[in-house]
Structure 1
Amino acid sequence: MSSNAAAARGRSRWGTALAILLLIAAVLGVLALAATRVVEQRIASILGPRGQVGNVQVGLRQVVLTDVAVTGASGQPGARARRVELEPEWTAFLRREAVFKSIVVEGFDFAVVRSPDGVMQIAPALQAALRAGDGGAGRSRRDGPVHVDELILRDGRLEYLDGAVSKPPHRIPFTAVQARLQPLVIPGDGSASDMAFSGTVQDNRNGEATVRAQGKVVVGGADADMTVAARNMDIRYAAPYLAENGAGSLSGGSMDLDMKTSIVERELKASGTVALHNLKFSGDGSLFSLPRKAVLAALKDKSGTVRFEFALSGRLDNPKFSVTRGFSAQVAQGFGHAIGVGAEGAAEGVAGAVKELGNALSDLLSPEKSTPEKSTPEKKQ
């Protein structure tokens, strides 16, 4: 009897322990479901009514979103991402504050838009969604910025649309984009973020072209301190910046660019070097402020590459100052120097300088023309 009682007591203890474990598992399951639901609501409140998320997975340290899409307003490009990893500050996150230790975005597709007045917007559809987001169930979202200690973008596609240089906006598509911003505050609070960017220019006719940028930038502001390097960029993407009035005449070739840009309190200083390779032209008219025929003739004596330095400075809020127009003038001046024309002739099209170039080219292209001998006075007989 005693052994049977002991066995019964043992089974009872195991049964109790199993019941407790099942109860704990059930409670944890309910809590996990509730936590997932809370996180889904918080994500929905941040993205707003235009945002869609395929799936939400909640872990102890991070939240993983898949198939994220934000539709843009009429005529506005949307934003998408295959996977987004969020590492939130949980206490702040549950208090309805958007504070994250890190955000990693993979397989993204969004646009950077520059409006005709020069204002730059990164993923405008996403920014509009963040502004329009509410707390769900009719409640208002807390007023406050989104804080991210580190934002990482991996293996994405980016389309740069510049409405300041052409209408419709000039388009430069990038693939294999990698970028990093740390820290990041949206909307910006005036503090600088460290930034690194690299990408490959899509549909480049001359083989692979890369663009890299690194430095500091004030998100939502104008201040920046950046270095930019572009290699083998198709001239069709660079043309509107190189020749303000003759971009359509540049039909082939490539550009290398090394540039350092500093903007402090809307005062711009930029300098660097430009190399133009194997340029091809079409149409008539002037090129780089010089007659087209003169440019083509001068380029015949070059190795296929024209290289020159530039420097640009001015205030961004000065209506008489245009970065694009100023850079085009610098390119014209440098191009003129590179093919043997004075700075004034290249930048301003001074008639005298162009005439001198024409005379020099005429002599160059007519080698059989002999130099006339000086006449000597005849002796009187």
Structure 2
Amino acid sequence: MPLPLYLLAVAVFAMGTSEFMLAGLLPDIASDLGVPVGTAGSLTSAFAIGMIVGAPLVAVLARNRSTRAGLLVFVLVFTAAHAVGAVATGFPVLFATRVVAAVANAGFLAVALTAAVTLVPPDRKGRALAVLLSGTALATIAGVPGGAALGALLGWRATFWAVALLCLPAALGILRGVPAGREGAGVAGRPSLRAELAELTRPPLLLVMLLGALVNAATFGSLTFLAPVVTGSAGLGEWWVPVALVVFGAGSFAGVTVAGRLSDRRPGRVVALGGPLLLAGWPALALLAGEPIALFPLLFVQGALSFALGSTLIARVLHEAAGAPTLAGAYATAALNAGAAAGPVAAAAALGSPAGESGPLWLSGLLVALALLVAYPALPVLTGGRSSEMPG
């Protein structure tokens, strides 16, 4: 894999850390800025909204720019937003920086997903995407716990500075290693904006976007409320929560790495084999969460299966959106973020159900079951190249 691809993954790592790091920083931020913790929690919602709105909007605005210029602008805006956030003295300013950072994150990921596959031969696209998305997996392993530790030692502002500094190697890699591409508005052979938007009317593309969103909703729904499972169902101390997050993150890294080698050649097999295992794993985790000896191995397995299946489906989004070369990454990003935003909201409702702490785990099982009910009749869409129509 080319070095620029790994540097793009570093930026994805920094952005993933930023997206999830607030969970351990909210009390410190609230105290420092003089707002209730509940108000500080709106920073997470601001980031999610910015990600969902930002991906398609910024991708459209950037389609007449070169790939290199677009990536560089996004990563520098993201860096600047964190630098401003690190010195913010009022909550409204910090809130605004989170929205700006989220829009830049969404734009970067949308363009980077498309750019990553241009850096490698056609038969290695899945591996390239796995390298890029491994940045998110590594963020859950090292970035979020590391950010929480840094915040505890030096304050929340130090974590914001650290995220900003992590983006600088990626900016250098973009300048030195990413081809310019797509210069100007009149690129020969490129579809019009209307033609690219029309791709969203194709059922196969909508199918894989829906599947990716459902699997991602299941993943982040349970991940968001993992702490109550660890401290409630398992009866462990709070310091076991970061351990559980690291175990899940390690599994996700293993899953996305393995899936990267299979999604180019056997995407249907990943779905056909990984899907039922993932489906069985969520209720198993709900039933066995009270046994720590079973909890942690299951967390590793569910992390691996979730990211293996999720990354494969996102790769299929890019395949099916081949007719929208400048917006394909935005469609994939929208599917990812729709799931990441909807999953925790649904899981919060499940947490208040009679199932209690295990509610989000049961909900994740239902979401995966729904995804499989949709996926299996249309398995041919997931097995080959770009489909012209849904199978009958």
Shorter-chain TM band: under 0.3
Name the structure where strand makes up a greater proportion of residues: 1
- Higher relative CO (CA 8 A, sep ≥ 6), structure 1 or 2? 2
Name the structure where helix makes up a greater proportion of residues: 2
TM-score scaled by structure 2?
0.22
Q: Which has the larger radius of gyration?
A: 1
